[in-house]
């Protein structure tokens, strides 16, 4: 069963909204398509390369990525982290997010 992150509807007291952690994983993976020079490592049947967990009230997103040869790794990773946080904030109104990138290699 998937983990859910629950948010109260702040504008009107009409109920709660539950978002699966898979929603955050999908948003993070798709938001990488906006940035050239970096890709998510393809997942396998046994290993997910984009994961989301809730720890200490924060949404922790972990991505395994590859960087295009010739790019500055630190620069592109900072850009990706900021972009993912902004996209998730815009789509879900969650802004207490930590994005961890594990650079697994390079591609041409």
Burial 81-101 (b: 16+ CB within 10 A, else e): bebbbebbeeebeeeebebeb
Record the tokens describing residue 7, joined without a space: 């948010």
Give alpha helix (H) positions in 1-108. Answer: 21-31, 73-92
pLDDT in tens, 83-94: 999 999 999 988
Name the pTM for this structure: 0.87
| CATH, range 21-107 | 3.30.70.1350
pLDDT of res. 18: 84
Q: What is the pLDDT along the chain (108 residues), one digit of tens a residue?
A: 457 776 656 666 777 788 899 999 999 999 999 999 999 999 888 889 999 998 888 999 999 999 999 999 999 999 999 999 999 999 998 889 999 999 999 999
């Amino acid at each position: 069963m998937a983990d859910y992150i629950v948010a109260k509807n702040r504008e009107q007291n009409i109920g709660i909204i539950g978002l699966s952690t898979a929603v955050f994983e999908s948003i993070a993976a798709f938001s990488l398509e906006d940035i050239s020079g970096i890709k998510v490592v393809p997942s396998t049947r046994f290993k997910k390369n984009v994961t989301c967990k809730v720890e200490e009230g924060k949404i922790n997103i972990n991505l395994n990525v590859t960087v295009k040869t010739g790019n500055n790794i630190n620069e592109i990773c900072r850009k990706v982290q900021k972009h993912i946080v902004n996209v998730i904030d815009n789509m879900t109104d969650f802004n207490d997010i930590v994005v961890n990138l594990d650079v697994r290699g390079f591609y041409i």
